[in-house]
Structure 1
Amino acid sequence: MAGTDDTVADDDALYVLTAVLLTPAQFPGVLGDDYVAACSVLGLEPYAEGYGLVLGQDGGGARWTVVVDDVSLVAVAIASWDCGMEYDLSPDGGSVVSALPGWPLSLAVAAPGVPEPHDPSPEPGAEGPAPLTPPDPALWGPAQRRLGADEVASQWATWRGQIAESEFAQGSAPVSGASTSSPDPDTSPDQGRSAGTPPGESPGGDKRRTSGPHPGVRRALAEARAYVTEPPPPGRVRSAFAPGGARTLRADGPGWSLVARTDDIAFVLLDEEPGEVLPVGRGPELPGLLRSLDELAVRPLS
């Protein structure tokens, strides 16, 4: 994370805490199903070059999200922090597109030497956007569903390790929710994993379903397949690096999110299944679908 060496708080200074990219290939999923929708939430034009979002506090402790058009600068800062290196992210005034009150993401850090993080007070008589706020973790909706999918993508090995090959029917492309004869719902192989359940644990409650794949998963896969013939808005399907020459895919649609590895299985999250992460077996059709999605997906420049 970036900090500041100033010992005296300056109300006009931004004490940088973190930053994220907002490009067609990389953007916070909480903002929308695709890049165009994410830009719309922030009142930005969906330029192909994208933006950087710098999150920090002013000298009074108020939360601010500063939008800059120097994407390369923000990308270098993020890469440096990911490697454990210090990097002083200080965008110049000429690169600032807008300064938005609040943060779209929840942060567990705060700037030292200034008041606790809080939303800035609106200026008297001024009309401006409402402060950005992260999604409420106690609720479930599109933002939480996309945030959960982003988490699965970033921790693929952990989530994949909870699924055994024996949980999938031989030679088919089953999904979580297929019928099972297991008498114990907590250990039934057809049960989806909860997005809030620690690795190695099973969510409680009897969530066995009727025979056949979950209808929401069937719908999600059908709509994802339709993207191949009718390409969606930029960022609706994204492809990122994965070990072994594979790619990690993220796709979103109305009411669903998909996470997959091109050499492995997929996971689907649904608005109608709060907190559930539903596995999709590889089977005979999934590999071709993933290859097609990867071909049309937006990729990071580096």
Structure 2
Amino acid sequence: MAGTDNEAVAAADEALYVLTAVLLTPAQFPSVLGDDYPEACAALDLAPRADGYGLVLGQDGEGARWTVVIDDVSLVAVAIASWDCGMEYELSPDERTVVTALPGWPLAVAVAAPGVPAPHDPGPEVVEGPALTPPDTSSWGPAQRRLGADEIALQWAVWREQIGDGYVPSSGERPETEEAGADGEETAPKGGHQGVRRVLAEARAYVGSPPPLGRVRSSFAPGGARTLRADGPGWSMVARTDDIAFVLLDDEPGEVLPVGRGPELPGLLEALDKMAVRPS
């Protein structure tokens, strides 16, 4: 985590060359920073504000890396939408919207501002304490697992094609099949991959006991469906409400585990979609 003071804010605001920006809201946040919105905020030492933040990443006139946190979420959303459409948009936050300025970048940035020194962290004469750095994704772990889930959500058609339209859970898989207990209540799923069974059980528990904000998110998908993203301790799940799901586990490096639709998955996805946070 990185702290800052008024001098640091002034240094960042004096001449910030904006390179990129991201949203940090309950429904949209860099998942590499955490499994949920409060965890992502904690990575930046920010309180989980209900309306969220906009993160503006850039360099000052000396080339130092800065992350300027603003409360004008709409401004950042408009800038991102414009850039995604290939349009120019000059993102210049009003100083009254600045919450804080943090040294360093919490995410990897592949570009640099022209005409200034190469990106580097601000010196100790400007700020105290360590600067923000991107999570380590060089080896498999929570950050890499969440990035993998991001990629599946973005490239759903590619991953789905690898499974094929005729995919159904095998008799040995069936992770979403449940059995009734003696009192008539459903018990834990039987058979199949133990890790997938655990994920589905924890996802079901979210329905009855809501998890931290942002652990279940719903976004647009073609054909009237929704793309669901759920995360938990050691796992991530990506699904379409009209299709199957994919699970990634910290304990299974690089593995993407498909979950067939079966008789139970549709109801689980519908319940998760009802409780999920959505982009405004």
Normalised to the residue count of structure 2, the TM-score between the two structures is 0.86
- Structure 2 distance, partners of 1:139, 1:145, is 10
Q: Contact 1:173/1:285 (CA < 8 Å) preserved in 2?
A: no
Question: What is the identity, as a one-letter code, of the residue corresponding to 2:230?
Answer: A
Q: CA deviation at 1:123?
A: 2.0
Q: CA RMSD in A?
A: 2.1
Q: Contact 2:245/2:260 (CA < 8 Å) preserved in 1?
A: yes
Count, aligned residues = 255
- Structure 2 distance, partners of 1:27, 1:170, is 35
- Pairing 1:213-252 to 2, within 5 Å after superposition: 213-252=192-231
- Structure 2 distance, partners of 1:118, 1:161, is 42
Match of 2:122 in 1: 120
Distance change (3 Å), C-alpha of 1:173 and 1:81:
farther
- Structure 2 distance, partners of 1:255, 1:169, is 23
Where in structure 2 are there 5+ consecutive unaligned residues? 1-11, 176-190
1:24-69 per-position Cα deviation (integer Å, ceiling 9, x unaligned): 1100001111111111111111111110011111112221111100
Distance change (3 Å), C-alpha of 1:243 and 1:171:
farther
Match of 1:142 in 2: 142
- Structure 2 distance, partners of 1:87, 1:11, is 18
- Structure 2 distance, partners of 1:220, 1:68, is 35
List structure 1 runs of 4+ shifted beyond 3 angstroms.
165-175
Q: CA deviation at 1:174?
A: 4.1
- Structure 2 distance, partners of 1:84, 1:62, is 27
Of the three residues 75, 82, 85, the one matched with 1:83 is 85
Taking only the aligned residue pairs, the percentage that are identical comes to 77
Match of 2:7 in 1: none
Distance change (3 Å), C-alpha of 1:295 and 1:171:
farther
- Structure 2 distance, partners of 1:260, 1:53, is 28
Where in structure 1 are there 5+ consecutive unaligned residues? 1-9, 176-211
Q: Contact 2:65/2:120 (CA < 8 Å) preserved in 1?
A: yes
Distance change (3 Å), C-alpha of 1:49 and 1:101:
same
Match of 2:277 in 1: 298
- Structure 1 distance, partners of 2:193, 2:264, is 17
Larger fraction in helix:
2
- Structure 2 distance, partners of 1:43, 1:137, is 21
Normalised to the residue count of structure 1, the TM-score between the two structures is 0.80
Question: What is the identity, as a one-letter code, of the residue corresponding to 2:265?
Answer: L
